[in-house]
Structure formats: structure tokens, C-alpha cells
Amino acid sequence: MKQQEVKNNNKVLVDAGLYESEENPEYKINLALQRYQNEDISIGKAAEIAGVCWEDMRDELVKNGINPRLAPRTIEEAQKDYHTIRKFLSERNRE
């Protein structure tokens, strides 16, 4: 499923009243879960979409019966994970 199709499917959920808006935390988690399953994104990217930390995203995947891909499959994926983790740690150290 392509990113645009996922966005359209989620817009239908908002339009149907199942979510108040696209800013709803449950909506963001659902979007991240769908994109993780249907696109080749990392847990870090899914966490960024959902607005949660990496550990919470991993827990959401497991809770929803989705096996997390814990190792990057490509150099590009490893680099994305690296940058996401650095950003997370930087923000966490500012708190």
C-alpha cells in the first residue's frame, strides 16, 4: 500500500467520526502502524510519525501483533535509524 493510499484510508476514518482529527494520538499511532506494515519504514520513523519514543512504538507493534524489524536491512535504513536515535537522545538530554 502506498503512502497516499494509507493517508486516504485514515482520512476516511476521520471523516467517519472514528477519530476526532488527524492530531488525535490514537490516529497517529494507527497511521504509524499502517505505514510500518505497508511501507518499508523503520521503527524510528514509525515512532516519529506516532509522536512516541522508540520503545513505545516497539511495544505498540507487539501489542498489535506486528513483528518488529529490529535490525536495519540496508545502509540507508541504518543511517535513518542513527539520525532518529540521535535526535531522540538530544531532545531527551534537554529535558
Rounded Cα distance, 79 and 59, in Å: 22
Nearest 10 degrees: Cα torsion 59, 65, 67, 70: -10
pLDDT above 90 for 11: no
Q: How many domains would you assign to the chain?
A: 1
Closest alpha carbon to 55 in 65, 38, 68, 64: 68
- The pTM of this model reads 0.56
Range of the domain at 63: 3-94
Reported as a pLDDT band with limits 50, 70 and 90, residue 91 is confident
Task: Tell me the per-residue pLDDT of 15-64, one tens digit each, with 9 for 90 and over.
Answer: 655 555 556 788 889 999 999 999 888 899 999 999 999 999 999 999 99
Rounded Cα distance, 48 and 86, in Å: 13
